[in-house]
Amino acid sequence: MSATEHAVSLGLPELPAEPYPAEVRERLDADAAEIVARYPQSRSALLPLLHLVQSEEGFVSRTGIRYCAERLELTTAEVTAVATFYTMYRRRPAGEYHVGVCTNTLCAVLGGDEIFDELQRHLGIGNNETTEDGSISLEHIECNAACDYAPVVMVNWEFFDNQDPESAKRLVDDLRAGAEVRPTRGARLCGFKDTARILAGFPDERPGAVDESGAGGAPSMAGLRLAHGESLPGASGPKVVSPRQQETADQDGSDSNGAEGDEA
Amino acid sequence: MTATHPEKLLSPVLSATWGEEKPWTLATYRAHDGYKGLHEALRMNPDDVIALVKDAGLRGRGGAGFPTGMKWQFIPQGDGKPHYLVVNADESEPGTCKDIPLLFANPHSLIEGMIIASWAIRCSHAFIYLRGETVPVLRRLHAAVAEAYEAGYLGRDVLGSGFDLDITVHAGAGAYICGEETALLDSLEGRRGQPRLRPPFPAVAGLYACPTVVNNVESIASVPAILHKGKDWFRTLGSEKSPGFTLYSLSGHVTNPGQYEAPLGVTLRQLLDISGGVREGHTLKFWTPGGSSTPMFTDKHLDVALDYEGVGAAGSMLGTKALQVFDETTCVVRAVTRWTQFYAHESCGKCTPCREGTYWLVQLLRRIEAGEGVPGDLEKLNDIADNINGKSFCALGDGAASPIFSSLQYFRDEYEQHLRERGCPFDPAASTVWAGTRGRRNPAGKARSTEDDPPGDRGPDGRNGDFDPSENGVLA
């Protein structure tokens, strides 16, 4: 390729980004004013404003950066420095659904690596890439604070707990088919831009969204159930109430049983 | 000694209502003594509230274990400056998964605790810094804060006390380092999340250079029960130096992963005994007491009391009580390599030992894991970790060194085996949740060691994701 083919490589200054069209700007201004009003100092509004411009375009464009800079009286360089520091801000257009597979140690060991591998193969894309139809972006993510539900997959930052390669493939197939998809913890999926708007601090307006999916799955309730005298699947021992589990039990829950190799 | 009955061993307080109808709502919270602690606090002088929390002995649940009441007491009073309370809900320390389920099921316990804390430190604007990657929790926090305003717990003249309080829910944008309290403050000020030099500590110059308390979610959520039930009750749980209850998060190769709320000082053996143990047919190999930044333990440590002193005496840290359990199918080198990739990814780039050291640790570990290590690599590994540990700007560096040191201490043989046999002797398929289940194929030929996807690029901008040793805490 010729040296002049890519202007960016020459380090020449870029022309300033185009501003948003007036009607977009007017709409965003109302939201931005609300965001700025939440903080004692305006610069604190920068992260939510970046979420806001991401909710407008699906990523943080140079136009979005310019907008944030103007609203907060910062330079575009200052805003860019912040926008590029945080992993949730996309720097280029990407899929309607962000599919993140946890491959931090615990999830990886329990199967996250295999899930991520299978999804790449199934979708024909690699890490940080988007399917041609624009429906799905795939990324391996770090620990998402759901280790008791490992392996975990996040879609638009809603929890899909206890996944395996088959369930994960079904999930992305459903997403691509436009089916309604519900997370194990969270509300029925909305698009990436709608998610970004919630992140900007605007409550989810969909009726019932807050209440969907209950208080948590079995892991969240495990200790509570034991404390109430119930028993857990595969856990043996004398439980006072509701012996609803399969028999198991060759140990009685008394001490001295090594934790190692406790049989179910 | 080990308690026989889970009913006696466990002590649900924060999690007590999670099984109720819509426990995240104000109505349910109030039906179970919710906001009674606040009424109690508002009847007291703020200084007395601080003294009460201090006397109760509540210590930070984000990892560092600093006494909460003492943090509050450090706020200078009568200084004419605004005071701020910032809740660290940036839970991202690998293995840590307590604050997110807590906020999802019972956000009002945090809000009530925040109002009490704000009253105590004379703060009229408090913030919740929630990691952005947990939208379901954000949704419920938005709703709970709105309910609290509606009910007069927030806003002007809280419950007729003459005290005003606003709470702003702030979503982060993906950066583990923002769990470090000063990086969190920079982030909340709209900057890159990089740690600040201390002193001055946040209690003197925190948010907007004003006196600021930064507390972990679970610490603050534990406050209402202390106000409502009293410090003596609180001290009946746990030990002398580590009183109270806490959420232990069991994960990994166990029969029943999940949240187990118990008095401080239970042991992993007890928790495994009551919950069904390590997964069937397998044995415990190594585990972390409080997330990946806390030195790992082995089956020799099953009876270590899981409180601040007990774990510390055994050579690790209680951290976030994130008990990640790995069985004998797990390759230690693989586990440590992955954690190290995480630290390299999340290193904020501010200081050289951490930025460069974590990068080189990854290079070495990948080589060892792939069977391409050479003699002297283990010494070099140890040396690099030693040059990060205690020499970095913040605790992320110390956290990165922990898995290296502790795994070399307990599993040096396994590293040597990788060198000697020129490869990894473990089958990753055997560690999966579905290993051995019928009908499930384990795709053959998965060259796991080479597929280790690089943990994101360290762009020239040095950006990195979220760190949260302090989520908490190891840093905080």
Across the range B277-305, mean pLDDT stands at 97
Across the range B373-397, mean pLDDT stands at 97
Question: What's the pLDDT score for residue A112?
Answer: 98
Question: What's the pLDDT score for residue B455?
Answer: 39
- pLDDT over 90 percentage in chain A: 82
Interfacial B residues in 358-377 facing A (CB < 8 Å): none
Chain B positions in Cβ-Cβ contact with residue A140 (cut-off 8 Å): 453
Question: Which are the contacts of B270, defined by CB distance < 8 A and separation ≥ 6?
Answer: A255, B2, B3, B9
Interfacial B residues in 89-108 facing A (CB < 8 Å): 91-97, 99-101, 104-105
Question: Which are the contacts of B265, defined by CB distance < 8 A and separation ≥ 6?
Answer: B238, B239, B242, B305, B306, B307, B310
How does pLDDT run across A147-188, given as a tens digit for each residue? 999 999 999 999 999 999 999 999 999 999 999 999 999 999
Residue A130 has pLDDT above 80, yes or no: yes
The domain that contains A106 carries what CATH number?
Answer: 3.40.30.10
Pick the residue from chain B with its C-alpha nearest to A139. Answer: B456
| d(CA B426, nearest CA chain A) in Å | 11
Residue A114 sits in the same domain as residue A181: yes
Residue A101 sits in the same domain as residue A30: no
Q: How confident is the model at residue B132 (pLDDT cuts 50, 70, 90)?
A: very high
Q: Scanning the structure block, which residue is given the tokens 């520091």?
A: A85
Across the range A38-61, mean pLDDT stands at 98
Across the range A87-103, mean pLDDT stands at 97
Across the range B283-296, mean pLDDT stands at 98
Q: How confident is the model at residue A256 (pLDDT cuts 50, 70, 90)?
A: very low
Does residue A185 fall inside a structural domain? yes
Say yes or no for a CB contact (<8 Å) between A142 and B342: yes
Q: How confident is the model at residue A244 (pLDDT cuts 50, 70, 90)?
A: very low
Buried b (16+ CB within 10 A) or exposed e, B286-323: bbbbbbbbbbbbebebbebbbbbbbbeebebbbbbbbb
Three-state SS for A112? helix
**Residue A227 and residue A234: Cα distance in Å, rounded?**
16
Residue A152 sits in the same domain as residue A177: yes
Mutate to test the interface with A, among B92, B106, B139 (most CBs of A within 10 A): B139
Question: What's the pLDDT score for residue A12?
Answer: 73
Does residue A49 fall inside a structural domain? yes
Residue B88 has pLDDT above 90, yes or no: yes
Q: How confident is the model at residue B304 (pLDDT cuts 50, 70, 90)?
A: very high
Across the range B116-128, mean pLDDT stands at 98
Does residue A106 fall inside a structural domain? yes
- Asked whether the beta carbons of B429 and B442 are under 8 A apart, the reply is yes
Question: What's the pLDDT score for residue B467?
Answer: 36
Interfacial B residues in 324-363 facing A (CB < 8 Å): 324, 326, 330, 334-335, 338-339, 342, 345-346
How does pLDDT run across B167-207, given as a tens digit for each residue? 999 999 999 999 999 999 999 999 999 999 999 999 999 99
Residue A21 sits in the same domain as residue A73: yes
Residue A78 sits in the same domain as residue A24: yes
Query: What is the pTM (predicted TM-score) of this model?
Result: 0.91
Does residue A240 fall inside a structural domain? no
Does residue A231 fall inside a structural domain? no
Q: How many CB pairs under 8 A join A and B?
A: 378
Say yes or no for a CB contact (<8 Å) between A216 and B324: no
**Residue B386 and residue B397: Cα distance in Å, rounded?**
10
Say yes or no for a CB contact (<8 Å) between A47 and B170: yes
* Residue B447 in contact with partner chain A when CB distance is under 8 A: no
Which residues does residue B286 pair with via DSSP β-bridges, in sequence order?
Answer: B298, B326
| d(CA A122, nearest CA chain B) in Å | 13
Strand order in the sheet with B284-288: B258-263, B245-252, B322-327, B284-288, B297-298
Residue A53 sits in the same domain as residue A113: no
Interfacial B residues in 120-149 facing A (CB < 8 Å): 125, 131-136, 138-140, 142-143, 146
Boundary residue ending a domain (A167, A191, A215): A191
* Residue B175 in contact with partner chain A when CB distance is under 8 A: yes
Phi, psi of A40 (to 5 degrees): -65, -30
Does residue A243 fall inside a structural domain? no
* Residue B32 in contact with partner chain A when CB distance is under 8 A: no
Does residue A196 fall inside a structural domain? no
Residue A79 sits in the same domain as residue A101: no
The domains found in chain B, sorted by start residue, are 6-234 (3.40.50.11540), 245-325 (3.10.20.600), 332-425 (1.20.1440.230)
How does pLDDT run across A195-218, given as a tens digit for each residue? 999 999 999 999 999 999 999 999
Chain A positions in Cβ-Cβ contact with residue B465 (cut-off 8 Å): 86-87, 142
Chain A positions in Cβ-Cβ contact with residue B91 (cut-off 8 Å): 145
Average per-residue pLDDT for chain A: 89
Closest partner CB to B18 (pick from A144, A216, A256): A216
- Tokens, residue A168: 């994960």
Q: Higher confidence at residue B450 or residue A10?
A: A10
Q: How confident is the model at residue A85 (pLDDT cuts 50, 70, 90)?
A: very high
Residue A186 sits in the same domain as residue A113: yes
- pLDDT over 70 percentage in chain B: 91
Closest partner CB to A259 (pick from B174, B269, B330): B269
* DSSP code for A211: G
**Helix H or strand E encompassing A158:** strand A158-160
**Residue B157 and residue B162: Cα distance in Å, rounded?**
4
Question: What's the pLDDT score for residue B8?
Answer: 83
- Asked whether the beta carbons of A52 and A200 are under 8 A apart, the reply is yes
Residue B439 has pLDDT above 70, yes or no: no
Residue A108 sits in the same domain as residue A77: no
Question: What's the pLDDT score for residue A234?
Answer: 86
Q: How confident is the model at residue B210 (pLDDT cuts 50, 70, 90)?
A: very high
Across the range A45-59, mean pLDDT stands at 98
Question: What's the pLDDT score for residue A13?
Answer: 76
Residue A101 sits in the same domain as residue A79: no
**Residue B420 and residue B438: Cα distance in Å, rounded?**
35
Question: Which are the contacts of B135, defined by CB distance < 8 A and separation ≥ 6?
Answer: A156, A157, A158, A186, A195, A198, A199
| d(CA A234, nearest CA chain B) in Å | 6
Boundary residue ending a domain (A145, A172, A191): A191
Say yes or no for a CB contact (<8 Å) between A199 and B135: yes
Across the range A5-24, mean pLDDT stands at 79
Which residues does residue A159 pair with via DSSP β-bridges, in sequence order?
Answer: A154, A185
**Residue B221 and residue B353: Cα distance in Å, rounded?**
36
- Tokens, residue B81: 């400056």
Boundary residue ending a domain (A171, A191, A211): A191
Say yes or no for a CB contact (<8 Å) between B252 and A147: yes
Residue A60 has pLDDT above 60, yes or no: yes
- Asked whether the beta carbons of A82 and B205 are under 8 A apart, the reply is no
The domain that contains A58 carries what CATH number?
Answer: 1.10.10
Does residue A220 fall inside a structural domain? no
Residue B143 has pLDDT above 70, yes or no: yes
Question: What's the pLDDT score for residue A235?
Answer: 79
Across the range B232-248, mean pLDDT stands at 97
Residue B448 has pLDDT above 80, yes or no: no
Chain A positions in Cβ-Cβ contact with residue B302 (cut-off 8 Å): 258-260
A36: containing domain: 15-83
Say yes or no for a CB contact (<8 Å) between A142 and B136: no
Total structural domains in chain A? 2
